[in-house]
């Protein structure tokens, strides 16, 4: 598998071969062939998932694994070079797709072991025709720069390379002279380009390539006319431009097919060419994929391995895609396209989170010379839920900040330096930069405290600008789903790791934590009782937020009073949900940051405050204190930013055992919880209610 990756062996394994080696026909990091799985038609592979799941890391590893062994190119569709034309080039002569084809071809052209440079005469001609559409008022220097870069796509690495380079310079001069003359600009540039193929030094393969454009629709077997039509369609924009771009993509693939044609090239080039596209949900990703898929559906064959990283999995254009989990493609993909659906030629592979063992290895590797608290790797897994980016950055923070930091919360708020030439920055801010849409960070920071659309609206009305209304809340919900974040009942932001980071940012937005308190107080009012027999879930939500602003008394009273009558399974869920309230370090009575590191929840859970605590009159003091200790124990042990305290785990077991004696009907469930919950907490798992089927136990009330 990849040398720097964990949990992705299904893509990289060599013996037996993983998915990508089976498609490329070459072992990663080696110049050794391996049998191909799809010898005739290849799937277009999309690695899908939310932010931080390692799509970019996988694509980078693939590039490193095959670079120098077989032609490989990697582009990031969110790179600034694809956002708009530069250097004075007008928009009518540029598009993200045309720019991507130029960048991809430049990388694929590089020589590899046993074989020289690949030339792209068809693509070169097409790109000159497209660029010429923007030379109407250009200065000769700009034209020269653009032409020289495009013409280099047709420069091989043979013994006549020097002569070919001089010829490219002469062609450049001819093109500049042609477009500076009085004749038709585009036609003159195309004529000068095509004339370069008639020179005696050009081999017959390139001469055949020069005629390729005569098959462009309505060209009448005239390559010059075909390129003029291509340029006009591109300048027209809309569907006409998409048509032209499709032929430019076809030209790239035809040049690659030509490079592999014949006995000698097939012997020299062991692996198929590889094109890697990161952030393929952004232009030029959709245009590239659509052109390739439509041509393959119409029988225009190619042998290029496309692997793209895609944010989210529910894009409408992928309705017919063949979907597989990573584990399902480890040995074979079982991919067969539907002839009637071009998108069925997509093999969409969802990248799963990493496992606890992967987390242990990643943290251990980053902190090889740093003594670690034994619970840190599993607490890291519980916090991140296996998000690779989160694990790696937390591990880096641990390597830089231990033993000074005493909890995951402190590792997140501590500065971490990721680049030698940049200052350190709080780890949680670095993570939010990569895990959350930057244009909606402020809104999500506030709305992360909410549980559904209605509570999000209440927060928006109270804390966000007036122009952020209910429609914007809906749009943000849709945006999160499109970004690949899960929908979880009981949480507006379904991903628990992202939600925790957003709440941490909310807590630290102002020195007195005023916005933090206002957010939770708004939700306390939102879930205020509506009637005498109000829905119990509203009470649990209200108590959850009261606990978040350090008001435990109401929660203790509710759990104490409902313990004798409420179904034990429901009571345990209520305890777990209320105690999932966020807690960010201790504060004094005035709400200011507490300088010490002692977790007051642990002190309460262990009974150290019982003697000073005043039990309310008229209640069973033993039950009241036991419930109070239990609530604070669960609160501490389920806090994703704290390391579980083994002493608190022991006390949790004891308190649940004692409660089981008070409810004969619920004795078995309480007894099992007394065994399962301490074990779950120490292992970095969510607390499981016995015989409960909930997947996200701390998400619902």
Residue 214 CB-half CA count within 13 A: 10
Q: How many residues does the chain have?
A: 701
Q: Is residue 589 classed exposed, middle or buried when 0-12, 13-18 and 19+ CB atoms within 10 A define those classes?
A: exposed
**What per-residue confidence (pLDDT) applies to 2?**
40
**Strand residue runs (E) in 160-260:** none
pTM of the model: 0.91
Beta strands 305-311 and 346-350 are unpaired
**What per-residue confidence (pLDDT) applies to 116?**
84
Of the candidates 569, 290, 585, the one whose C-alpha atom is nearest the C-alpha of residue 409 is: 585
* Whole-Å CA distances, 472 to 433, 458, 476: 21, 13, 6
First-to-last CA distance in the chain?
Answer: 42
| Cβ count within 10 A of residue 609 | 15
| Cβ count within 10 A of residue 402 | 18
- Three-class secondary structure of residue 618 per DSSP: coil
Phi-psi region of 88 (alpha: psi -120 to 50; beta: other; left: phi over 0): left
**What per-residue confidence (pLDDT) applies to 159?**
40
SS (H, E, C) 578-616: HCCCCCCCCECCCCCECCCCCCHHHHHHCCCCCCCCCCC
Residues of the chain with pLDDT under 70: 1-4, 157-171, 179-183, 198-207, 263-267, 532-533, 585-598, 693-701
Of the candidates 679, 687, 685, the one whose C-alpha atom is nearest the C-alpha of residue 631 is: 687
**What per-residue confidence (pLDDT) applies to 395?**
95
Retrieve residue 465's tokens: 């600008």
C-alpha to C-alpha distance for 388 and 372, rounded to whole angstroms:
19
Where are the domains positioned within the chain? 71-269, 356-433, 538-693
**What per-residue confidence (pLDDT) applies to 147?**
87
> H or E stretch including 228?
helix 223-236
| Cβ count within 10 A of residue 297 | 18
Q: What angle do CA 519, 522, 523 make, to 5 degrees?
A: 90
C-alpha to C-alpha distance for 116 and 682, rounded to whole angstroms:
57
DSSP letters for 353-368: PPPHHHHHHHHHHHTT
**What per-residue confidence (pLDDT) applies to 667?**
87
Q: Rounding to the nearest 10 degrees, give the CA dihedral for residues 498, 500, 501, 504.
A: 160
């Amino acid at each position: 598998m990849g040398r720097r990756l964990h949990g992705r062996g299904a893509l990289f394994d060599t013996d037996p071969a993983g998915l990508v080696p089976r498609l490329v026909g070459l072992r990663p990091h080696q110049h050794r062939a391996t049998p191909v799985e799809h010898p005739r038609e290849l799937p277009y592979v999309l690695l899908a998932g939310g932010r931080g799941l390692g799509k970019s890391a996988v694509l980078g590893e693939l590039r490193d694994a095959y670079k120098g062994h077989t032609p490989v190119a990697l582009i990031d569709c969110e790179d600034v070079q694809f956002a708009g034309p530069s250097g004075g080039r007008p928009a009518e002569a540029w598009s993200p797709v045309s720019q991507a084809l130029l960048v991809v071809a430049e990388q694929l052209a590089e020589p590899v072991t046993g074989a020289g440079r690949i030339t792209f005469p068809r693509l070169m001609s097409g790109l000159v025709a497209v660029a010429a559409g923007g030379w109407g008022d250009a200065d000769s220097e700009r034209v020269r720069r653009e032409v020289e870069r495009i013409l280099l796509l047709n420069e091989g690495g043979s013994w006549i390379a020097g002569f070919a380079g001089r010829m490219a310079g002469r062609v450049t001069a001819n093109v500049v002279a042609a477009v500076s003359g009085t004749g038709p600009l585009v036609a003159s540039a195309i004529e000068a380009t095509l004339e370069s193929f008639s020179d005696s030094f050009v081999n017959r393969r390139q001469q055949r390539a020069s005629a390729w454009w005569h098959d462009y629709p309505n060209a009448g077997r005239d390559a010059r006319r075909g390129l003029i039509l291509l340029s006009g369609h591109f300048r027209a924009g809309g569907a006409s431009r998409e048509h032209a771009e499709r032929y430019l993509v076809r030209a790239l693939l035809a040049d690659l097919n030509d490079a592999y044609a014949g006995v000698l090239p097939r012997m020299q080039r062991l692996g198929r060419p590889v094109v890697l596209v990161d952030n393929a949900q952004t232009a030029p990703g959709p245009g590239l994929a659509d052109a390739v898929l439509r041509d393959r559906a119409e029988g225009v064959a190619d042998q290029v391995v496309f692997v793209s990283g895609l944010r989210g999995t529910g894009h409408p254009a992928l309705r017919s895609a063949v979907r597989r989990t990573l584990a399902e493609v480890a040995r074979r993909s079982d991919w067969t396209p539907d002839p009637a659906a071009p998108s069925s030629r997509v093999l969409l592979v969802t990248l799963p989170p990493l496992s606890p063992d992967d987390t242990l290895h990643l943290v251990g590797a980053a902190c090889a010379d740093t003594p670690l608290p034994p619970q840190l790797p599993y607490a890291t897994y519980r916090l991140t839920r296996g998000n690779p980016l989160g694990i790696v950055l937390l591990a880096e923070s641990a390597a830089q900040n231990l033993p000074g930091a005493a909890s995951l919360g402190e590792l997140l708020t501590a500065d971490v330096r990721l680049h030698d030439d940049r200052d350190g920055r709080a780890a949680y801010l670095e993570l939010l930069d990569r895990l959350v849409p930057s244009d909606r960070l402020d809104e999500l920071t506030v709305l992360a405290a909410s549980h559904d659309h209605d509570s999000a609206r209440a927060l928006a009305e109270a804390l966000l600008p007036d122009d952020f209304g209910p429609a914007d809340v809906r749009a943000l919900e849709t945006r999160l789903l499109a970004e690949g974040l899960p929908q979880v009942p009981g949480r507006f932001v379904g991903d628990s790791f992202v939600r925790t980071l957003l709440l941490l940012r909310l807590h630290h937005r102002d020195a007195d934590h005023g916005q933090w308190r206002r957010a939770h107080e708004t939700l306390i009012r939102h879930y205020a009782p509506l009637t005498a027999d109000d829905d119990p879930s509203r009470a649990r939500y209200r108590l959850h937020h009261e606990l978040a602003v350090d008001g435990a008394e109401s929660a203790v009273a509710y759990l104490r009073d409902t313990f004798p009558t409420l179904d034990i399974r429901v009571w345990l869920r209520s305890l777990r949900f209320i105690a999932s309230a966020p807690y960010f370090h201790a504060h004094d009575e005035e709400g200011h940051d507490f300088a010490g590191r002692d977790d007051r929840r642990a002190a309460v859970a262990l009974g150290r405050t019982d003697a000073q605590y005043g039990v309310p009159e008229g209640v069973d003091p033993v039950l009241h204190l036991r419930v109070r200790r239990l609530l604070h124990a669960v609160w501490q042990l389920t806090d994703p930013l704290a390391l579980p305290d083994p002493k608190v785990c022991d006390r949790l077991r004891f308190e649940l055992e004692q409660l089981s004696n008070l409810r004969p009907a619920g004795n078995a469930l309480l007894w099992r919880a007394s065994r399962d919950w301490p074990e779950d907490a120490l292992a970095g798992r969510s607390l499981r209610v016995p015989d409960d089927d909930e997947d996200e136990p701390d998400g619902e009330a």
